[in-house]
Structures are given as C-alpha cells and as structure tokens.
Amino acid sequence: MNQINCPAILISAPASGQGKTLSTAALARAWKNCGLNVRAFKCGPDFLDPMVLETATGQPVYNLDLGMCGEHDGLVRLYQAAQTADVIIVEGVMGLYDGTPSSADIALRYSLPVMLTIDASGMAQTFGALASGLLGYQPALIPAGVLANKVGSTGHADMLKDSLPAHLNWLGALPQDEAYALPERHLGLFRAQEITDLDARIEAAALALAASSALPLPPMVTFIAPETASISPKLFAGKTIAIARDAAFCFIYPANIDCLQEMGATVTFFSPLHDKTLPEADAYWLPGGYPELHLKEINENTAMRNALLAAFNADKPILAECGGMMALSESINGVPAYGLLAGKSHIEPRLQGLGTQHAELKENIGSIGAHTFHYGKFDTALLPKCQANSRYGAGENIYQHGSITATFLHFYFSSNPALAARLFSYAKP
C-alpha cells in the first residue's frame, strides 16, 4: 500500500467570524517565509476564502467537502498534495462542529490534527476553558493547539497562553489591528483581486504571528494512496470549452478546470464584461460571481450580448450557473442584461438558497454534487427541466432553454465527470 507522511493541520474555530481565513493565511505565509512548500485547502464549497489562501501560498487551493465533493475526492487531493508539500494547512468552515458534515467530521475522516483560532477580544482565562471544551467535546479529535486572534497586548497574549491546559499547545497570537482586516460583503470576503494590498496584509499578519510563536510544524499525518478510480474518458478530446472569468464571473473550482482538461478539453477564458467577441469554442460556461455589481458594463456591452446570442442560435451548449444565469436573463435589478433567458433577476435582502445538493438531470447516470448560496431570485415562466435534491427535500430548479442549461447551482464536476460532460453537450430536438 503506497503512503506518504506529511505534517498537516485543520484550522477551525468556535464560530464563524473568529478570523479563520486570516489565521490560516498568516500561518501559511509564515511557514512559506521559512522556505517551506505550503499547500492549502478549504473545507466546504467556498470560493472566496480559497482566493485569499492562494495569495498566501502562491498555489491553487482545492476544496474538501464530504457532501459535495465526496470522500474519495478528498483522499485523492490530499495524497497528491502530500507528494510535494512540506506542510498541508486546511481552513475549516463555520464553527468546529457546525454543519452536516462539519469541519470536525472532515478532520476525523482524514486524521487531520485540529488547531483552534479564537477571537480573544474581551476574553481572558475563559480562553483556555473554551479551547479545552471544544477540542475535548469529540475525544477522537487530535488537538494541535490554539491561536489567539485580536489580542490587545503582549500581556494579554501571555494571560491567554497561561490559561491553556498543559496538553494544548500555544501557536501564537495576532494583534487586534485593522491593517490585517479582510473586507466583506453579502456573499463573504471581497475577492482577493479587489483587495489591492492583500499580499501586504497577509505578510504583516505572518510577521506578527512569527513574532509570537516559534511556528512549530503540526503532527505528521499518513496519507494513503486511494484506490484508483476509473479514468475519465476523453469525452472532450479535440473540443474547446470557453469559460467566463472576470470580476463578475469568478466562482470557479480549480478542480472543475482540472476535470475538463482530464476529459481532454482545451480550456480558454474570456471576459463577458470587457471582451467584444467570444473565443471559438465548442461550449461555453458562465459561472457565478457578482454580475449585480457590474450592471453598467453588462448593459453597455452590446457586442458581447450579440456574440452570446449568436452562440445560442448556433446551438452551442452554454452552462450558466447562479450569477451566470442571472446575467443571461432579461434584467438584473431592473437593468437590462444579456437577455437570452426569459425572466427577470434581482437581489433580495435575505438569503434565497444555501446548502449542498445533488442533481440527477434525469440522465440515468447517477447524480452530481453541487452547492447553492445566493441572494438572487429568478422570476421566469420557463418550466424547470428538473430539480436538484437536498437533505431537506426539493432543491434548486435546473432549466433547459435550447442549448442553455441554467440554474442557481454550482456543480462540482469531479463528483460525476460523465454527467458533467452532459452539461456541455446539446442535441437539438
């Protein structure tokens, strides 16, 4: 049995908003500054936190999620990363035990030691009790230590450190400093590319963390080579898939691009906001993002509207996910959009969809994992082709309008490559 050992750690917290992304990025950069090859992962189907971690490490960041991605997918990606990494760092999602499956479930499945990051502002000796209780709640977890965030002073840090029981390691402190803050909006953190001084913020946080700790490596984890899955057939051999990628269309799992390429596709990119033409391709993909923040560019780019319409009239398969679907509708928040789908989109003040779902698409080739997280709403007379399923019942609608497949779902292609290939194919009735 092939196996490899590599230091690894999962960073979690008592709740959301404790500073997990900043702590993970700072620790990853601090280890990178020591000359280590750091590979980072993100628990859950998040798009935004991985962008920050990619800036911190300089390497692509993949997702670990037992629901959407599947257990085997995580085994493959961790084993692959361990081949070249000096240390693997995984950012959790929400609080340690929140969600089904939770960060704790992921830590247990992959034998990842757990480090807690705790917002220590307004806290003293309770810090140690909180850390001890969280890590002791599930005795099978491997405690790796605790990091304090938003610490007020050196004396405050010493007080927090002294509160820890002997079996929990002190992994450092991040001072309370706006220079480290990561700005947020309705879907989470700003895109990494929007934070113009992001690298400087991460570097400053890494230096502060290094000043408070010796930065010990986490325990070794043994990663075992997973059973070889069947190789994806070259369903896209000789085919080109063009992917929208810019400030409005940016929610793309790196694993999805890998999956398309493994099926033989040549992948190219274009900007619906700024380009006037579409690249020559056999299929097009408009992923989610923030079209509602770029309505002027969408509305005024009539050349792109005409190019998308021409591709649709030529029966080119078009996959439109979440923001991509909204952009293809008649309007977003009353502003005319690309107009290929009958219906109007708008942003609601409250969350409209959240969670892992699976879709069968009535193709009799299994289901594909997906995730939904949106404030958008699509009012349309189009009848759905089918509905995805969630553990709470019926999930998001999936529409088929000519060669367009449109939904609020974000699909994870590797969970079912054969079905993913169907999303980029169309046979005219």
Candidate list 69, 250, 259, 322, residue with the active-site label: 322
- With beta carbons less than 8 A apart as the criterion, state whether 420 and 241 touch: no
Based on the residue annotation, tell me whether 322 is a catalytic residue of this protein.
yes
What is the residue type of 260? L
Residues in the chain: 429
- Regarding beta strands 87-91 and 3-12, do their DSSP bridges make them parallel or antiparallel, or are they unpaired? parallel
Q: Which residues are catalytic?
A: 322
